[in-house]
Structure 1
Amino acid sequence: MINTYYVNLNNEVKAVSSPYDITEDKKWIWVDLNEPSEDEAKVLEEYFKFHPLTIDDATVVQQRPKFKQYEDYQFIVFYALDLKTLESEEIDIFIGEDYIVTYHKERFEEIDTIVRKLLNQSIQFNEPKDILLNILDDIVDNYFPFIYDIEDKVFNFEDRHNVDISTKNLIDDTFDLRQELLLIKRTVQPMKDLVYRMREGKVLQLQEQQLLYLTHIYDHLMKQMEMVDASREMTSDIRDNYISLNSFKMNNIMKILTIYSVVFMPLTLIAGIYGMNFTNMPELSWHYAYYVVLVIMIVIALIMLTIFKKKKWF
């Protein structure tokens, strides 16, 4: 679908289907290509005459967030996050002096929001750069719910610490959480670098208020990256702590089993000696031999347990 919005010389915002349908002079134009067909996508080449490599980047190749400068326009790739899968969704933007073109293969709520603001004139959009900055701001702000949700999950691990839950389940959940954090970071980090280049490169020739707006967006991305890194660090600590705790419990079990094994070693030796049934074993004919051997075995066990206890081995 292709939608076109433009501002005429009387500062009236109007909507038409195609840029070819505009019959009056205009200040600037916004063409939104939402899941366009091949025929609709031809407007990039035939009407705007964009560079073929740029069109190929937008229509075929999935890009990372990027910013490219051409002779009379800039090509920018943004990424939003899918609410269900946390996968990145690409939106390609062409922006010139008096036009902006948005190209995306999925429906973006951020785009719909900007369109409503434009048509209702609830926010003053003086030029295409204002559209660009508002789209970027909405995309970045929509990262926050994902990051806050992940952060809440991380903090909930502290509550689970006091619940009888198996270490295996906890470790599995921790790795799942780290996977989600990695997916978010793969989107937020390149977006932060992109906005930094846009701000420092000064290629867009932003006005002072627009530059402040872009700095505000960059600050949000910085905060998001700090939250993601902090959550990743916390999950690493949780994972390491529970692995250490599990190792500690296992070592205690092995220590106790080893102590019992050592205690029974001399007892087993005595039982083995008197279990050989040789003919010439005088003790076998003693009346109290059985009781004496039992007492000796008990004394040996008690002595060894006392020694281990004094050494605080258990």
Structure 2
Amino acid sequence: MIRAYRPDGTAEIFSASDPRTNLDPAILWLDLVNPDRAEEELAERLLGVPLPTRDDLKDIEPSSRLYVEDAVVFMTGSLVYHVETDLPELTDVAFILSGNRLITIRYAEPRAFSLFSAGLLRVPGRYQTGAEMLGRLLETVVDRTAEVLEIGVARLDALSAEVFVDRKAAKRRPPRFLEDKLLDIANHHRLVSKARDSLMSLSRLVTFLRSQPLVRKDPEADELCRIVAHDIQSLSEHAGFVSNNITFLLDASLGLISVEQNAIIKIFSIASVVFLPPTLVASIYGMNFQFMPELHWQFGYALALVAMLLSAIIPFQFFRWKGWL
């Protein structure tokens, strides 16, 4: 699908069979969403610029994501999407500045694009150049990434409240509760790491964009890029802080699991020690020696039971006195 946006926010959808050979000069933004080869050829014919294909975006090396060719600026950034699911992903989006026109090529639906296109209608005529529109689009992308981090922080706070509870609440937990929470921690880490990767990609993109004459001679676009670069730096630092919190929560959860396992092992250890003396007494009187006077006593059986009971109670009370129970 090819959407063409004008400064007033109105959009036009082109089909692959469109016969036109040039674009309306008023069109500032051409958005290619999951284009097939016919639509790519149509866009190339209308723009007069060779466009990267889906395979090009996938195979492009990190060092070749930003370049200028025949006065056309080609940039590729990684944007996070599917943040509402347990498997957030990154998608590569091409941002191209050709003269006074912005071209984007994407094969996913990051929410920032729908937010930005909806904002065009609310403030018609706000953008006069493609560079300014790109700056505002990147600003929306960064704002959406900030929302993603806020979502991650909210989920992390809720998870932390579930993990760190008082002892009474901890005893009411179902079996393997903390082990299941490790998967949730991994999901939160994946979301934050994807957001950090996206911010790193956007940081390189904005730095490259600010060095281009097309942006430097546009004061509005240059100021937008400066603000976006500052926001990216702040969000990167915040993402690092959130990542450290996730690491702490992971370490704490593993520590609590170890404490629970040690408590179970402690119970078995104490039980074995408590029942060891009665076993010794029973073993002695289980011997088949001929001369064991207690075997002929009238109350020998009862005395043996009392001896076994006392040999169990005494160690148990000693452990309680020492505070080991």
- For the 8 Å contact 1:29–1:99, the answer to whether it is kept is yes
Corresponding residue for 1:274?
285
Bigger relative CO (Cα 8 Å, ≥ 6 apart)? 2
Q: Assess, with a 3 A threshold, how the Cα gap between structure 1 residues 190 and 30 changes in structure 2: closer, same or farther.
A: closer
Corresponding residue for 2:147?
145
Q: Assess, with a 3 A threshold, how the Cα gap between structure 1 residues 4 and 149 changes in structure 2: closer, same or farther.
A: closer
Q: Assess, with a 3 A threshold, how the Cα gap between structure 1 residues 227 and 274 changes in structure 2: closer, same or farther.
A: same
Matched, 1:67 2:66: yes
Corresponding residue for 1:41?
40
Q: Assess, with a 3 A threshold, how the Cα gap between structure 1 residues 114 and 292 changes in structure 2: closer, same or farther.
A: closer
Secondary structure, aligned partner of 1:287: coil
- For the 8 Å contact 1:91–1:102, the answer to whether it is kept is yes
Instruction: Return the alpha-carbon distance in structure 2 between the equivalents of residues 260 and 88 of structure 1.
Output: 54
- For the 8 Å contact 2:66–2:75, the answer to whether it is kept is yes
RMSD: 3.5
- For the 8 Å contact 2:9–2:120, the answer to whether it is kept is no
Instruction: Return the alpha-carbon distance in structure 1 between the equivalents of residues 197 and 61 of structure 2.
Output: 9
Q: Within 5 Å, which residues of 2 pair with 1:178-217?
A: 178-199=189-210, 201-202=211-212, 204-206=214-216, 207-217=218-228
Matched, 1:109 2:120: no
- For the 8 Å contact 1:92–1:103, the answer to whether it is kept is yes
2:102 to 91, 100, 110: 100
- Cα offset, 1:228, TM superposition: 2.8
Structure 2 residue ranges without an equivalent (≥5): none
Instruction: Return the alpha-carbon distance in structure 2 between the equivalents of residues 32 and 288 of structure 1.
Output: 98
- Cα offset, 1:69, TM superposition: 2.0
CA deviations 1:239-290 (Å, max 9, x no partner) are: 2212212211221232232122112212212201212333332221123433
- Please tell me the residue identity of whatever aligns with 1:75: F
Instruction: Return the alpha-carbon distance in structure 1 between the equivalents of residues 316 and 91 of structure 2.
Output: 66
Structure 1 residue ranges without an equivalent (≥5): none
Between structure 1 and structure 2, the one with the greater Rg is 1
Instruction: Return the alpha-carbon distance in structure 2 between the equivalents of residues 130 and 117 of structure 1.
Output: 17
- Cα offset, 1:27, TM superposition: 8.6
1:236 to 235, 238, 247: 247
State the TM-score, normalized to the length of structure 1. Answer: 0.78
CA deviations 1:133-153 (Å, max 9, x no partner) are: 122112222223322122111
Corresponding residue for 1:20?
21
- Cα offset, 1:158, TM superposition: 3.5
- Cα offset, 1:154, TM superposition: 0.8
Instruction: Return the alpha-carbon distance in structure 1 between the equivalents of residues 261 and 9 of structure 2.
Output: 71
- For the 8 Å contact 2:78–2:201, the answer to whether it is kept is no
- For the 8 Å contact 1:114–1:135, the answer to whether it is kept is no
Instruction: Return the alpha-carbon distance in structure 1 between the equivalents of residues 118 and 264 of structure 2.
Output: 61
Corresponding residue for 1:136?
138
Instruction: Return the alpha-carbon distance in structure 1 between the equivalents of residues 281 and 22 of structure 2.
Output: 105
- For the 8 Å contact 1:79–1:139, the answer to whether it is kept is no
- Cα offset, 1:74, TM superposition: 0.8
- Please tell me the residue identity of whatever aligns with 1:237: F
Q: Assess, with a 3 A threshold, how the Cα gap between structure 1 residues 149 and 259 changes in structure 2: closer, same or farther.
A: same
CA deviations 1:172-207 (Å, max 9, x no partner) are: 3222222332333332332223223434x4554424
- Cα offset, 1:4, TM superposition: 4.7
Instruction: Return the alpha-carbon distance in structure 2 between the equivalents of residues 306 and 106 of structure 1.
Output: 67
Corresponding residue for 1:155?
157
Q: Assess, with a 3 A threshold, how the Cα gap between structure 1 residues 269 and 20 changes in structure 2: closer, same or farther.
A: same
